[in-house]
């Protein structure tokens, strides 16, 4: 399977690519432009680098979309529908590796944010706790 032009989509500024709560139907690869990612109407990030993959979590987890994604300016995307994902990943393992790296990067960023928040405002403290000996 190859990435062909018939799966390319264009979105104008403000158009919703993905809506939070919708079922997964495939994922997207950013070809040009930028998209904004919102969770509960809060802007979480802006994706602007060509080759960035998004929208895969709902398909991987079998859960509804976790965020809304809107075009920031004009955005050109490649859509990979659910029905083609498995074959695509078998035939082009570089895309599977890109998804793995994307998810690992997000997990690392989220873990760092949580650690920073606990450092600034710990939810609990353990006074007098002894460290385990090795």
Residue 29 lies in a domain: yes
CB-CB contact of 59 with 82 (8 Å): yes
Residue 38 lies in a domain: yes
Q: Which domain holds residue 77?
A: 5-120
Looking at the structure of the chain, the number of domains it has is 1
Residue 128 lies in a domain: no
CATH number, domain of 46, equals 2.60.120.10
69-117 pLDDT tens trace: 999 999 999 999 988 888 888 898 898 898 889 889 888 988 898 888 8
Residue 134 lies in a domain: no
Q: How would residue 3 be classed by pLDDT, with cut points 50, 70 and 90?
A: low
Residue 35 lies in a domain: yes
- What pLDDT shows up at residue 1? 47
Residue 80 lies in a domain: yes
Residue 22 lies in a domain: yes
The more confidently predicted of residues 13 and 86 is 13
Residue 63 lies in a domain: yes
Average pLDDT, the chain: 86
**40 Rama class: left (phi>0) / alpha (psi -120 to 50) / beta:** left
């Amino acid at each position: 399977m190859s990435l062909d032009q018939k799966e390319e989509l264009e979105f104008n500024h403000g158009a919703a690519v993905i809506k939070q709560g919708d079922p997964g139907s495939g994922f997207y690869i950013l070809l040009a432009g930028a998209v904004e990612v919102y969770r509960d109407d809060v802007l979480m990030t802006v994706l602007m680098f060509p080759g960035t993959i998004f929208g895969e979590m709902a398909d991987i987890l079998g859960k509804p979309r976790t965020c809304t994604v809107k075009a920031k300016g004009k955005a050109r995307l490649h859509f990979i529908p659910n029905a083609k994902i498995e074959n695509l990943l078998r035939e082009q393992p570089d895309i599977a590796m890109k998804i793995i790296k994307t998810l690992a990067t997000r997990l690392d960023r989220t873990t760092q944010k949580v650690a920073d928040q606990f450092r600034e405002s710990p939810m609990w403290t353990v006074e007098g706790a002894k460290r385990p000996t090795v």
